[in-house]
């Protein structure tokens, strides 16, 4: 979903249902496939890292991921992923 599509969908929901709380959901990964709801705490652009631990194959980069250096080049490792806008929930 693109930013413009998200805005349009949110505007339609606002008109139909009023000013509701917005959350994200994800499959908890348990036996019952519980779909957990997460509060949105931040909205940030990022360049995801590749991972085998996600259905999308992508993960939000940690500080360590961003600062990991290529031992041969001595440069910060870059991924070949496109920037995305992330509706983030972070446990404080």
Percent of the residues in the chain that have a pLDDT greater than 70, as a whole number: 80
Q: Give yes or no: residues 75 and 46 share one domain.
A: yes
The domain total for the chain is 2
Predicted structure pTM score: 0.69
Which of helix, strand or coil describes residue 21? coil
Q: Give yes or no: residues 56 and 89 share one domain.
A: yes
Q: What pLDDT score does 15 carry?
A: 98
What is 47-92 written as a DSSP string? -PEE-SSSSSSEEPPPHHHHHPBPTTT-SB---S---EEEEE----
62 versus 70: the higher-pLDDT residue is 62
Q: Give yes or no: residues 58 and 26 share one domain.
A: no
30 versus 11: the higher-pLDDT residue is 11
Mean of pLDDT values over 26-48: 88
Q: Give yes or no: residues 14 and 33 share one domain.
A: yes
Q: Give yes or no: residues 33 and 2 share one domain.
A: yes
- Quote the domain boundaries for residue 90: 40-92
Mean of pLDDT values over 67-78: 54
Mean of pLDDT values over 25-42: 87
């Amino acid at each position: 979903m693109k930013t413009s599509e998200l805005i349009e969908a949110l505007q339609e929901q606002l008109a139909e249902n009023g000013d509701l709380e917005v959350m994200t959901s994800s499959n908890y990964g348990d036996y019952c496939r519980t779909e957990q709801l997460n509060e949105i705490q931040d909205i940030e652009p990022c360049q995801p890292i590749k991972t085998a631990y996600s259905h999308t194959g992508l993960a939000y980069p940690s500080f360590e991921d961003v600062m990991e250096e290529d031992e041969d080049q001595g440069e910060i490792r870059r991924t070949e992923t496109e920037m995305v806008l992330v509706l983030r929930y972070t446990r404080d």
